[in-house]
Structure formats: C-alpha cells, structure tokens
Amino acid sequence: MGNSLLTSKNRQRLILFGMAVPLFAMVIVFNYFPLWGWVMAFVKYRPGVPICNSPFVGLQYFAKIFESGSDFLSVFRNTLIMGLLGLICIPLAVILALMLNECKVRIFNKVIQTASSLPNFISMVIVYSIFFKFLSVEDGLVNVILVKWHVLGQPIDFLANENMVYALQTFVGIWKGLGWTAIIFISAISSVDQELYEAAVVDGAGRFQKIWFITIPGIMPTVIIMTILSIGYLLSSGFEQYYLFYNGMVASRIEVIDTYVYRTGIAQGSYSFATAVGISKTIISVLLLSGANLLAKKTTSKSIF
C-alpha cells in the first residue's frame, strides 16, 4: 500500500515536472542562449563577418559609454527617473486593493476590478492610439474640454511637450498596469488570517484600525517582495511604450536605455556598442536587485533570495 502511494505521488510529480519542462526550455532558449551575443561587446563586429573572426577590442565600447560625447548619461537619467516614478506609484496599487477589499457591493467590486485590469491586456499600439486621440491638438477630447471650460486659452500638444513627458508616461504606465498589480495585493489580502479580524471586532476595532493594524502588516511581505523586484527592473522601463510615444520634440526626455539600444544597434548599425550598453544595464540591474534584497533582508527579514 505504501509503495503504491509513493508511486502515485512520484507519478504526479513527474507529470508536474513534465508540464514545467517546456517553460524551462523557453527560458533557456530565449534568455540564456542569446547571452552568446554578449561577445559582440568585446569585438569590432561587422555584419556578415563571424564573431570569432572579428578583431578583439577589449573594453573599448564600455569606455565609450561614459565618454563626454556619449548620449548614454542623458538616456540613463531618463530611464532612472521613469523607473523611480513607477516605483513610487506602487502604493497606488496597494490602495486600490484595499479599497476593493473593503467594498462590500460585490457587483461594483467586480466591475471596478475588471475595468482596472483590462488595460493590461490591451496592446501598447492601441494604448498609444487611445492617448493620441484623447490628447491630440486639433480634436483631442482633453483639449476640447479644457478650452471649452476656459481652463486653457489654446490647445496644448501634450505628446510633443517635453516638460510633460515624465508625468504623461508615468500616467500611461499606471493606467495600463495598476489594476493588474492590484490583483497581486488582493490575493495577499485574502490570505490574511480571518480570525485576526474577528478578534479585532471583539476588541472594538473599527474598519480603518483593522486595515492599519491587520491588513497592511499582513500584506507587507508581498509589498516588500514586489518593491524589490521593481527595483531590479528599475532600468528596464520597457521598449514599446517609449518607442511609440517617441517624437523629435520630446526625444531628449523620452529616450530610455531600451530604445537607445535599438536605435544605436539596429538603426545605426553600432551592434558592439549597443551590446555593451545592454550588458551595462544588466550589471547595474543585478547590483540594484542584490542591494535592495540585502537591505530588505537586514531591515525586515524578508527577501527573495
């Protein structure tokens, strides 16, 4: 009986492992095999010439990144600002999760949760089209309303105003991902021991006291983990959003590392330099992730590794 039970458990584990194998294979193929291309950062690569036959240049392209004439420092500033603004907005997802959890009207709760999560599944091309339609100068709904209500004397070209780039792109990111991120915190809230709430009611605690002393401490480990992961992706602001919203009027503010790598590598043909920039971003991201994880482990005893 014991052997058959053990065999049954092993069979279930093998089935689960078999289901995970394709995912591991995809990670290896798409995340680890491309690391061979990092060799291009250390050679003078030219298309059509095998990498192994390209002349070795050492750290020449890495040194070029930090030259005074390089645009990388400006691009790095933009990427860092975008990432920090996104990081600061994490509490908004927590607040939304708390509000949805406290909403006792089930239908309203489901409608808000679905509506806030839906943008996550919309293509960024469609997202750009929506914002272009709303913010365009001639017939954009926002300009029409603001001018009609005499808030503005004349329409503003929001998409070509470099002073609005950081705020606008942060808003786009919040609109697209807020509801989806809130789902994670809603799941964390649902795992909080319900007996704690019952005990709090007996002690006379109100709704806000239960949120402050039970719910928030209960989901704090999840908040810390999400913050650590967000710090690790601080320099990975994304490509599609900034590429689509890019134009000559806002180029100095909206260019981030991912779009910079594309423009220098693919558009300009500087494959080796673009690879060096990508490697630098990866190294800095790993250091940020490790530092954030170590700090969280020392201060809260919560970490991802």
List the domain range (segments joined by +) for residue 54.
1-58
Distance CA(166)–CA(236), nearest Å, equals 15
| 305 within a domain of the structure (yes/no) | no
pLDDT at residue 227, as a whole number: 94
Q: Give the pLDDT confidence score for residue 117 in this predicted structure.
A: 93
Both 127 and 201 in one domain: the answer is: yes
Query: Would you state the pLDDT for residue 144?
Result: 92
> Are both 145 and 279 inside the same structural domain?
yes
Residues 225, 118, single domain; the answer is: yes
Do the domain assignments include residue 144?
A: yes
d(CA 262, CA 282): 15
80 in the same domain as 27 = no
Spell out the residues 6+ positions from residue 96 whose beta carbon is closer than 8 angstroms to its own.
116, 178, 179, 182, 185
Residue 121 lies in a domain: yes
Same domain (yes/no): 11, 115: no
Residue 64 lies in a domain: no
Query: Is residue 248, in this structure, part of any structural domain at all?
Result: yes
Q: Please check whether residue 65 lies inside any domain of the structure.
A: no
Same domain, yes or no: 208 and 154: yes
Q: What is the pLDDT of residue 153?
A: 85
Query: Is 63 a domain residue?
Result: no
- pTM confidence score: 0.88
In contact, 43 and 57? CB cutoff 8 Å: yes
Q: Give the pLDDT confidence score for residue 82 in this predicted structure.
A: 95
Q: How many domains does the chain have?
A: 2
Is 211 contained in some domain?
yes
Same domain, 53 and 74: no
pLDDT at 67: 79
CATH number (domain holding residue 260):
1.10.3720.10
- Digit-by-digit pLDDT tens for the chain (305 residues) are 445 555 777 888 888 889 999 999 999 999 888 888 899 999 999 888 888 889 999 999 999 888 756 688 899 999 999 999 999 999 999 999 999 999 888 899 899 999 999 999 999 999 999 999 999 988 899 999 999 998 888 999 999 999 999 999 999 999 999 999 999 999 999 999 999 999 999 988 888 999 999 999 999 999 999 999 999 999 987 899 999 999 999 999 999 999 999 999 988 889 999 999 999 999 999 999 999 999 999 988 888 87
> 210 near 193, Cβ under 8 Å?
no
Q: Using CB atoms within 10 A of its CB, is residue 215 exposed (0-12), middle (13-18) or buried (19+)?
A: buried
3-state secondary structure the chain: CHHHHHHHHHHHHHHHHHHHHHHHHHHHHHHHHHHHHHHHHHECCCCCCCHHHCCECCCHHHHHHCCCCCCHHHHHHHHHHHHHHHHHCHHHHHHHHHHHHHCCCHHHHHHHHHHHHHHHHCCHHHHHHHHHHHHCCCCCHHHHHHHHCCCCCCCCCHHHCHHHHHHHHHHHHHHHHHHHHHHHHHHHHHCCCHHHHHHHHHCCCCHHHHHHHHHHHHHHHHHHHHHHHHHHCCCCCCCHHHHHCCCCCCHHHHCCHHHHHHHHHHHCCCHHHHHHHHHHHHHHHHHHHHHHHHHHHHHHCCCCC
Residues 54 and 79 in one domain: no
